[in-house]
Structure 1
């Protein structure tokens, strides 16, 4: 029996859930998991290194690299073959970004 996947932290659910090629016939549909989009966002849009992005997503650096590699493969495959890219599914949980406050002194 395989080990259950640990949920990955994402900053928020994407506001856009699909990309469809325009001006050419659609040849099918491919699915990008939500954590794959988050990995692309952290590395390519936010320009973070893999170690920092892995800490944000609460996974190891190796797991982050694998998620990023799979996401890049899915996106490039959809672009080259003219498939619609649907963003859904995956194993993730929302990261609310709450920080612990330290109290200074007594009041």
Structure 2
């Protein structure tokens, strides 16, 4: 089935960033929450939500998109 025909599971930029900080950067949740400027509880909820969404999408053949949320793009070019 073409990607364009798959049902989509949406992840927010914040959820993906929380996942990146914990799973790729190996930060503790408290440190990662501080870095993101949110409470540890809000961070924990983001991690739980994004992991469930990803597991659901992977096990049910859904597409994953990253969108929404409040974020800033940093440009490394000077």
Tell me if TM exceeds 0.5. yes
Q: Which runs of 5+ in 2 are unaligned?
A: none
Structure with greater helix share of residues: 2
SS at match of 2:71: strand
Aligned match for 2:52, one of 68, 73, 87? 73
What is the deviation of 1:95?
A: 7.8
How many pairs were matched up?
Answer: 71
TM-score, normalization: structure 1?
Answer: 0.61
Structure with greater strand share of residues: 1
**Who wins on radius of gyration, i.e. which is larger?**
1
Deviant stretches of 4+, over 2 Å: 93-96
Corresponding position: 1:93 with 2:56: no
TM-score, normalization: structure 2?
Answer: 0.83
